[in-house]
A and B are shown apart, each in its own frame.
Chain A
């Protein structure tokens, strides 16, 4: 044995001694408790990273009413016939194996004074820190004539699960020559390029089924949208004559819809007997954060960009689509990134773990055709009181087919990566 190795062994023994001496103090106190609400990209990641990196020092409970999780990301690929439903469905068993307590119930009320989550079933879960990642709720009254009762007739499919299946079934039933109308959402909303990837995947499925006389009209309240030049180039390349996007100056607003007859009335034109109307309404943070007075007038929650901590309650962190994350889009990648910052800060607060300045990242891939994939992304930091982009990139028009195909392979790798990172 050389001198260095001997020194190392001595040092290791000293370390071990320190740990043993320290442990009774830890054992004498109850473990700090973290409750996480929502088992999506933000909540599942936060629960996993607090449990994993805390190595048992913190008791973590994940509250999620659904036994299975369907990813919103890549649900457009299911719509386009490029993924099956089972492949976008995931369970929580690996998180349970890590020692995270899974509670299959809905969080009904947050008692912020007592620091307790009250479940729909009546049980109370005390917390030292609460992580809230409830995602979005839909504003059912934002499109005249549409309502929750109409979501079967005119599906939104902007929350994954049953609605995803409804939209696919309806798409499959569209006859050749049928008209599809998508009502796109106003900002801010979940997954900025999502509606336009959906249009692409619907056109792909129709074309693959030989239904290339179909037409998709996109009625958009926005003057411009994410990756617009890339999508419009792609629609022209792959689905010529099948997609028509209309901005507000052209359509002059959605005046009303009639779910029973498949009618959409705009200031410019009335679409009658549409084979499918996909209404993607305006959005707000999930009810539980709004009802807990954590959201501001915008319907979303202000956070400290250095930590993802709620701006109004120092014991609560808000992640993902429900938060106001500055320049970061509402995406699964963003929520996953924010969750890691929150997990580190919570471990710092409750387990005296080392912390570092918050850093965030995002990338969103969008499929235009089976081998044509584009991407947008960036890195982000806390600056001037918000999460600000430090560097961003977006695919360019006119890229080679080879590069686009390579990006699709990245997209598939990312899906496997993030679902493993969250739930594996």
Chain B
């Protein structure tokens, strides 16, 4: 059994490379707080089902959703990178930093 399959089995996660996702997440967490705190018009993106995360990012990438920042960010992400982000953020409790 490969390491990535093993890690997937531990978490029940999809195919996304979570280490890649963690690196790519640097781009997201400048605005979206990893703790799950929501301020202003920047939504929480942790703890989402992975298929939902992938669908939302693809809708920005294809410009079905209209935020210019998100269209630009999603626009350069390849399918495996979106999956990696979905796996990384999906595994974080949305209530991590909430008290």
Contacts and interface: CB of A to CB of B under 8 A. Distances in A.
A356 to B, nearest CB: 5
A411 interface: yes
Contact of B23 (A356, A375, A409, A410): A356
Interface string A408-424: 01111111111011001
B31 A418 contact: yes
A420 B37 contact: yes
Contacts of B73: 361, 379
Interface string B58-93: 000000000011011101100000000000000000
Query: Which of B32, B34, B68 has most A Cβ within 10 Å?
Result: B68
Nearest to B32: A417
B30 A333 contact: yes
Contact of B9 (A8, A333, A407): A8
A329 interface: no
6 contacts: A356-B24, A391-B72, A410-B41, A413-B31, A416-B37, A417-B29
A417 B76 contact: no
A277 B35 CA distance: 43
B68 A420 contact: no
Contacts of A414: 30-31, 40, 42
Contacts of A395: 68
Interface stretch (A161-169, A224-232, A336-344): A336-344
A411 B40 contact: yes
Interface string B37-67: 1111110000000000000000000000000
Query: Which of B6, B23, B30, B39 has most A Cβ within 10 Å?
Result: B30
B10 interface: yes
A393 B19 CA distance: 29
B99 to A, nearest CB: 13
A361 to B, nearest CB: 5
Contact of B69 (A53, A363, A415): A363
A377 B41 CA distance: 17
B30 A393 contact: no
Considering the complex of A and B, which 4 residue pairs feature the smallest CB-CB distances, nearest first?
A: A413-B42, A413-B40, A409-B41, A412-B40
Given A361-B30, A377-B69, A418-B30, 13 more contacts: A8-B10, A340-B26, A356-B23, A356-B24, A361-B73, A363-B69, A375-B69, A377-B72, A410-B40, A411-B40, A413-B42, A414-B40, A417-B31
